[in-house]
Amino acid sequence: MARLCMPDGACRGIDVQGAQTGATTAYTPGRDGTVTVDNPQHERALRAYGAFPANLGGRTRGGYRCTTCGFGSFFKKCGRCGAACSRDDEHSGKSDSDENRT
């Protein structure tokens, strides 16, 4: 299952016709501007039209990352799966130049 953004804000939806049955599936964006696509062939067709994957997770700054599912959080307990989160190494204050010094 993929969440895609439509190619343009003015795009109200895209209809994809199935190759085997000829049935048409309409993909209309929700309030957040994204569509959920379950069919991999329809995902490829929408990407060919110019749709792109939505960045729903974003980047956490100074937060924690779940050790089980990888979800970004500002709390030590994951809000998605309930597992423990650890400090995100990428934002722990170390720079790449500190680690590469000899």
Task: Residue 56: name the closest of 34, 84, 83 by CA.
Answer: 34
Distance (Å, whole) CA 44 – CA 32: 21
- pLDDT given at position 96: 46
pLDDT of residue 76: 87
The alpha-helical segments, DSSP class H, found in the chain are 40-49, 96-99
Distance, in Å, from the CA atom of 91 to the CA atom of 78, rounded to the nearest integer, reads: 18
Q: What is the dihedral of CA 73, 78, 83, 89, to 10 degrees?
A: 0
pLDDT score, position 72: 82
Beta bridge partners of 85: 66
Mean pLDDT by 10 residues, the chain (102 residues): 83 84 87 88 90 72 82 86 80 47 47
pLDDT in the model for residue 61: 61
